[in-house]
Amino acid sequence: MLTRRIIPCLDVKDGRVVKGVHFLNLRDAGDPVELGARYSDEGADELVFLDITATIRSRKTIVELVRKVAENIFIPFTVGGGIGSVEQMDELLRSGAEKCSVNTAAVAKPDILTQAAQRFGNQCVVLAIDARRSKTKAGHWQVTVKAGTEPTDIDAVEWAVEGAERGAGEILLTSMDADGTQAGYDIELTRAVADAVTIPVIASGGAGTLEHLYAAIVAGHAEAVLMASITHFENYTINQMKEYLRDRGIAVNL
Amino acid sequence: MLIVIDYNVGNVRSVCNAFRHIGCDVELSRDRRKIEAAAALVLPGVAAFGFAVNALGSLGSCIKDLALAGKPLLGICVGYQMLFDESCEFGVHKGLGLVSGAVIPIPPGRVVPHMGWNKVGLHDDMALFAGLGGEKHFYFAHSFYAKVADSAAKVAYTDYGFNLPASVQKGNIYGTQFHPEKSGKQGLQVLRNFARIAGSTHSTNSGQASSLQAEGRDD
């Protein structure tokens, strides 16, 4: 049986790890190479690196940084943010990434998911969805692109299903409403997406307590939980999270 | 010298990073002379099977001949799947045929890809798992698996609702469906064991110090 995964996330801007609330009011959380090595060493199951400025910055700096982070971690490594082509994915995979996540590019040209799956295998292709609760339709969420700045009319659950059909092997699902609040994951969103697809869903946005992690897995049906604020600012260690989940009957890699 | 085969597929760098970290003399190359002179070969792979086989091209038969002549070979993930006869991922493609078996889809009724950490039952008589004890978690990421049909191969399994082969050993030919280079401390131990099999010299850089430290912390 697969264990549930604990995944710290590095949001990287100008070479530093930052963390904000609802994607805004960023504060510094450290050096990505050091933080990555720390999480690998502490027993994190995976590391996610999101270049949150990538859509407007040159790729070269990021590729170099990804390479440096990868040299010091021995756990799976997902890189995302501003990826616009299969060639860029190839470059990141060759720099030490295990998987690439696409968000804006997949919405603009969904074929990228299929092309990437055919070239790298679908386990390499992560569809990142930034979802915001619809103000007009209850129980629905809208897909947002360009680092949360541009709402679309696309329904998040329908997009997840389509993304999986097109070749995504995993969904990184971020609730923009919950992001950075430490008030808990959007369980309803997580469960709606997780129940609609057969590929793994990573719950993201809102982790603040150990109970939140448990709820995302048990009530939200997430295969993995992603967190930033609560690990970067050392509220909990990776081990504390895993021991808590294990003691509540969840299979973890411990 | 260990040679990691460079055949233009994703993420071969992390395999080199991990071998370097444990103090191993390793180089990424597709140069035939270097491949022939290597103490051992590592065939990594993050790619769809057909793409990987095509990218490997004529290097495939070179690697096969060397493995049949006794050079230690470690296949990882799709590199492991290529050890078998054939795969049906996006069409039927021939593998190296070093181990009998076929690569087929993970049966429906569970989450696919099989992605994440799963517990592998380790055999004492499989050299890759020396010093690791009975069961350990390793990182998997795949949608197809090798149905092993080779009576000469030792097989370690993981449970994914069925017995999924996680690793094979047939003489000097080794393979892991999981990614040892991405499986934390226990994964580094698997690579250390392969380096030991290969008799690859350990350098005296900082990598060795950290590998000893990692060994000390193994539980």
Tokens representing A133? 């609760």
- Please confirm, yes or no, whether B16 is among the known catalytic residues: no
Active site residue B77: yes
Nearest to B117 among A2, A121, A198 (CB): A2
- Has residue B10 got a pLDDT over 70? no
Cis check: omega of the bond before B113, within 30 degrees of 0: yes
What's the mean pLDDT in B185-205?
79
Contact B182 A3 (CB under 8 A): no
Reported as type and span, the H/E element at residue A2 is: none
In this complex, do A118 and B47 lie within 8 Å of one another by their Cβ atoms?
no
- Examine the pLDDT at B5 and tell me if it is beyond 80: yes
CB < 8 Å to B181, chain A: 74
What parts of chain A have a pLDDT lower than 70?
54-58
Contacting A with CB below 8 Å, chain B residues are: 9-14, 17-18, 21, 46-48, 51, 78, 89-90, 111-119, 137, 139-143, 159-160, 179, 181-185, 187-188
The model's pLDDT over A139-159, given as tens digits with 9 standing for 90+, comes to 999 999 988 889 999 999 999
Q: Do B141 and A99 touch (CB under 8 A)?
A: yes
pTM of the model: 0.85
Torsion over CA: B89, B93, B94, B100 (sign): positive
Q: Is residue B217 part of a domain?
A: no
B42 pLDDT above the threshold of 60: yes
Q: Is residue A253 part of a domain?
A: no
Q: Which of B21, B77, B86, B142 is catalytic?
A: B77
pLDDT of residue A26: 85
A34 inside domain: yes
- Record: contact A67-B187, CB cut-off 8 A: no
Number of domains in chain A: 1
Q: Which amino acid is at B140?
A: F
The structural domain count of chain B equals 1
**CB < 8 Å to A95, chain B:** 13
The answer to whether residue A11 is catalytic is: yes
Q: What pLDDT band is residue B201 in, cutting at 50, 70 and 90?
A: very low
Q: Is A90 in Cβ contact with B10 (below 8 Å)?
A: yes
The reported pLDDT for the residue numbered B206 is 36
Lowest mean pLDDT among A39-48, B6-15, B71-80: B6-15
**pLDDT for the residue A58:** 65
Cβ-Cβ contacts under 8 Å, A45 against chain B: 116-117, 139
Q: List pLDDT tens digits, range B204-217.
A: 333 333 333 333 33
**Å from B11 to nearest chain A CA?**
4
Q: Is the pLDDT of residue B198 over 60?
A: yes
The per-residue pLDDT for range B102-124, each reduced to its tens digit, is: 999 999 988 788 888 999 999 88
Whether A97 and B11 lie within 8 Å, measured CB to CB: yes
* For range B13-37, the mean pLDDT: 93
Q: Is residue A254 part of a domain?
A: no
**Which tens digit of pLDDT belongs to each residue from A172-218?**
999 999 998 899 999 999 999 999 999 999 999 999 999 999 999 99
Flag if B13 and A98 touch (Cβ within 8 Å).
Answer: no
Higher pLDDT, B203 or A56: A56
Best of A74, A83, A101 to disrupt the B interface (most B CBs within 10 Å) is A74
Asked if the model's pLDDT at residue B167 lies above 80, the reply is yes
Residue pair B93/B77 in contact by the 8 Å Cβ criterion: no
Tell me which residue range forms the domain holding A149.
5-247
**What is the domain range of residue B78?**
2-210
The CATH number of the domain holding residue A143 is 3.20.20.70
- A-B contacts at Cβ under 8 angstroms: 126
Residue B214: per-residue pLDDT = 38
Do the domain assignments include residue B216?
no
Q: How much of chain B, in percent, has pLDDT values that exceed 70? A: 89
pLDDT at B202: 44
CA distance A73 to A213: 23
Closest CA to A226 of A143, A126, A89, A154: A126
- Per-residue pLDDT at B208: 38
Q: pLDDT category, B91, cuts 50, 70, 90? A: confident
Q: Are A199 and B111 inside 8 Å of each other by CB?
A: yes
Q: What is the mean predicted confidence (pLDDT) over B66-88?
A: 96
Q: Which residue of A has its CA nearest to B213?
A: A41
Q: Is residue B12 part of a domain?
A: yes
pLDDT of residue B49: 86
Report yes or no on A156 lying in a domain: yes
CATH label of the domain that carries residue B126 = 3.40.50.880
